[in-house]
Amino acid sequence: MGPEEEREVIDTLRSGWITTGPKAKRFESEFAKYVGAKRALAVAHCTGALHLSLWALGIGPGDEVITTPFTFTATAEVMGYLGARPVFVDIDPGTFNINPARIEEALESGEHKRVRAILPVHFAGHPCDMDRIGAVARQYGLEIVEDAAHAAGAARHLEGRGMTRIGTIGKLSCFSFYATKNFTSAEGGMITTDDDKLADRIAVASLHGMDHDAWKRYDKSGSWYYEIHDTGFKYNLSDVHAAIGVAQLKRADDFLKRRTAIARAYNDAFRGDASLQTPYSEPGIEHAWHLYVLRLKPETLTVGRNQFVEMLRARGVGVSVHCIPLHTMHFYRKNYGYRGDEFPVAEDVFSRCLSLPIYASMSDEDVAYVIETVLDLVRDNRR
Ligand SMILES: Cc1ncc(COP(=O)(O)O)c(C=O)c1O
């Protein structure tokens, strides 16, 4: 957070308008420009964005949505809100993204007769193979809703379109501006789409189903009267949050450059080590580097991943693990009958992975300290 964020927030506080209003509108139009989408709708969080998107497509009780188990629970929990079911398929061992071949298998198996949509997650900021996912979706008449929580600023080369920013490929794309994301509005989310009808419907639904500009009802020019047009949710983004988002968005490309430089430094340092596996980037992508996911090769080490994480933490390196596969979690086993051992690639990646610190304000000294500490620990614990 810098002086620009402070200025925007103070400007909003002093404007006398703190909830959804002109700053949220500005955040929408600037974000739409940033990703190249026709419409952008600011919402309270990506979870709400995903919920509204599936709802707007008419997904309801008994429907199925194909997604990855290697994600945060928000991706799949929203399906439950609508009475729909997450159909998990395994991931690609290189990119950690949903594997299009597994999507095809699930559809060809005949076991899933109610699939309505595919919900790919651009994990860690590496864009999914959207050409192949798009082809499968067209073949089976399915919608695509992208979970782009990690992928603001990422891009992928598409057949016939060239390099394309995430946010304009699927029917609807959902972004997160949660505090840990590449840029933030403290809490916040955005839906982008080129479909005006869906955008209009979501704009109304995201604020109680009231007329589109009902927020203006407190304005001098506004009317006290409002009509309820549709199902309503309370997913609007306040202007205080949008103010932070507007300021951060201006710095998003600089943040991304710094993250990319840190990821390169990690790659260069760890690539040659026999006990480490660096993340794979497909050609023709621009990675958002939301996470830097390093994998251990446990057969070469005397300690497991959990111990390695604890040792790094003990030496002051704030590592974490992303993600715990959803099909192994109590709720998904109980509610949807997953056993916890169906997706060997996701399970293998999870058992060996850890996320190293990566953020725009990270100093060169801190990057060097992380590299040195990881390499030290590997050397000290080599089998
Ligand atoms: C892949 C993924 N999807 C969705 C979300 C939900 O985002 P939010 O916290 O903005 O609701 C997250 C949050 O971390 C996420 O990692």
pLDDT tens profile 197-215: 999 999 999 999 998 666 6
What number does the ligand 1 atom closest to the CA of 180 have? 14
Distance 362 CA to ligand 1 centre (A): 22
Distance 223 CA to ligand 1 centre (A): 36
Chain centroid to CA 236: 19
Percent of the chain scoring above 90 in pLDDT = 95
Q: What is the mean pLDDT of residues 26-47?
A: 98
Distance 217 CA to ligand 1 centre (A): 32
pLDDT tens profile 143-153: 999 999 999 99
For residue 118, the cross-strand partners are: 66, 144
Residue 299 has pLDDT above 70, yes or no: yes
Atom 9, ligand 1: residue with shortest CA distance: 178
Distance CA 63, CA 147 (A): 18
Distance 176 CA to ligand 1 centre (A): 6
Residues with CB under 6 A from ligand 1: 45-47, 71-72, 74-75, 121, 147, 149-150, 176, 178, 189
Reported as half-sphere exposure (CB side, CA atoms, 13 A), residue 371 has a value of 20
Distance CA 97, CA 164 (A): 18
Distance CA 290, CA 259 (A): 8
Active site residues: 181
Q: Which of 31, 46, 98, 122 to mutate to test the pocket of ligand 1 (most atoms within 8 A of CB)?
A: 46
pLDDT tens profile 93-142: 999 999 999 999 999 999 999 999 999 999 999 999 999 999 999 999 99
Q: If pLDDT is split at 50, 70 and 90, which confidence band does 255 have?
A: very high
pLDDT attached to residue 212: 64
Residue 216 has pLDDT above 90, yes or no: no
pLDDT attached to residue 208: 94
Under a CB-based contact definition with an 8 Å cutoff, are residues 114 and 64 in contact?
A: yes
Q: Which of 96, 173, 178, 184 to mutate to test the pocket of ligand 1 (most atoms within 8 A of CB)?
A: 178
On average, the pLDDT of the chain sits at 96
Structural domains in the chain, sorted by start: 3-252 (3.40.640.10), 253-380 (3.90.1150.10)
User: Residue 111 has which token pair?
Assistant: 């076991």
pLDDT attached to residue 215: 66
Cβ atoms within 10 A of the Cβ of 77, count? 16
Kindly report the length of the chain: 383
Shortest CA distance to 41 belongs to which of 199, 260, 219?
A: 199
Distance 74 CA to ligand 1 centre (A): 6
What number does the ligand 1 atom closest to the CA of 187 have? 10
Integer angstrom CA distances of residue 9 from 14, 37, 78, 121, 198: 9, 26, 31, 31, 30
Q: Which of 43, 47, 185 to mutate to test the pocket of ligand 1 (most atoms within 8 A of CB)?
A: 47
Q: What is the mean pLDDT of residues 81-86?
A: 98
pLDDT attached to residue 226: 87
Distance 324 CA to ligand 1 centre (A): 14
Chain centroid to CA 267: 22
What sign for the dihedral angle of Cα 52, 54, 58, 64?
Answer: negative
pLDDT tens profile 218-247: 777 778 888 998 899 999 999 999 999 999
What number does the ligand 1 atom closest to the CA of 177 have? 10
Atom 8, ligand 1: residue with shortest CA distance: 46
